[in-house]
């Protein structure tokens, strides 16, 4: 009887390009300017990306465009978000037994904390598309820096599976 083996490494391949964007713009403004400079039309997704941390669940906004002509999916993903935790004040201070709000920053990709947004290009068959996209994104005035990221070197790349 023949034995069939399934190699799980085949499913672990990265088939997307990833571009890091440093910008102080709000996500909707960045999506607008990207739509102006690239041949895509990003629109806000109703499904946000959820990540569970010890403080609770945190959600990251996502904009997407599905290019049926080229069979490509574009996603603009927020990398930084805040979670607000309510705690009772402890210790001897002026606000004894008062409820205090503590805001904690959470990152989708924690290794790249300085990055504000990621542009993920799935099913990218043309290798020049990432370089051409970076060149067009550099034309946007309010983007401080933009560069390609190798997804293979990211430890928390599972957060990019959605």
Dist CA 103 CA 120 (whole Å) = 28
Show the tokens assigned to 50.
């959820």
DSSP class per residue in 34-50: HHHHSS---EE-SSPEE
Whether 9 has a pLDDT exceeding 80, the answer reads no
In DSSP notation, 59-104 reads EE-EEEEEETTTTEEEEEEE-EEEEEEEEE--SSSTTTT-EEEEEE
Q: 131, 137 in Cβ contact below 8 A? A: no
> What is the per-residue pLDDT across 51-94, written as a single tens digit (0 to 9) for each?
887 877 888 999 999 988 888 889 999 999 888 877 776 666 66
pLDDT attached to residue 89: 66
Tally Cβ neighbours within 10 Å of residue 1: 2
Model confidence pLDDT, tens digit, residues 106-151:
888 889 999 999 999 988 666 567 888 899 999 999 999 999 998 8
Asked if 31 contacts 42 with a C-beta cutoff of 8 angstroms, the reply is yes
pTM score, whole prediction: 0.80
Q: Report in angstroms the alpha-carbon separations of 81 from 42, 48, 58, 61, 118.
A: 20, 12, 7, 9, 13
CA atoms within 13 A on the CB side of 125: 5
């Amino acid at each position: 009887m023949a034995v069939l083996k399934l190699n799980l490494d085949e499913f672990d391949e990265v088939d997307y390009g990833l571009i890091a964007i440093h910008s102080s713009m709000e996500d909707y403004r960045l999506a607008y300017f990207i739509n102006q400079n690239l041949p895509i039309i990003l629109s806000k997704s109703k499904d946000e990306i959820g990540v569970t941390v010890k403080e609770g669940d945190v959600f990251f906004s996502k904009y997407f465009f599905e290019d049926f002509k080229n069979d490509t999916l574009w996603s603009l993903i927020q990398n930084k978000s805040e979670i607000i935790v309510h705690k009772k004040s402890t210790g001897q201070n002026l606000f004894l037994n008062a409820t205090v709000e503590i805001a904690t920053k959470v990152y989708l990709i924690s290794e790249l904390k300085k990055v504000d947004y990621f542009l993920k290009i799935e099913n990218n068959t043309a290798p020049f598309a990432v370089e051409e996209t970076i060149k067009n994104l550099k034309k946007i005035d309010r983007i401080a820096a933009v560069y390609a990221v190798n997804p293979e070197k990211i430890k928390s790349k599972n957060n990019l599976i959605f």
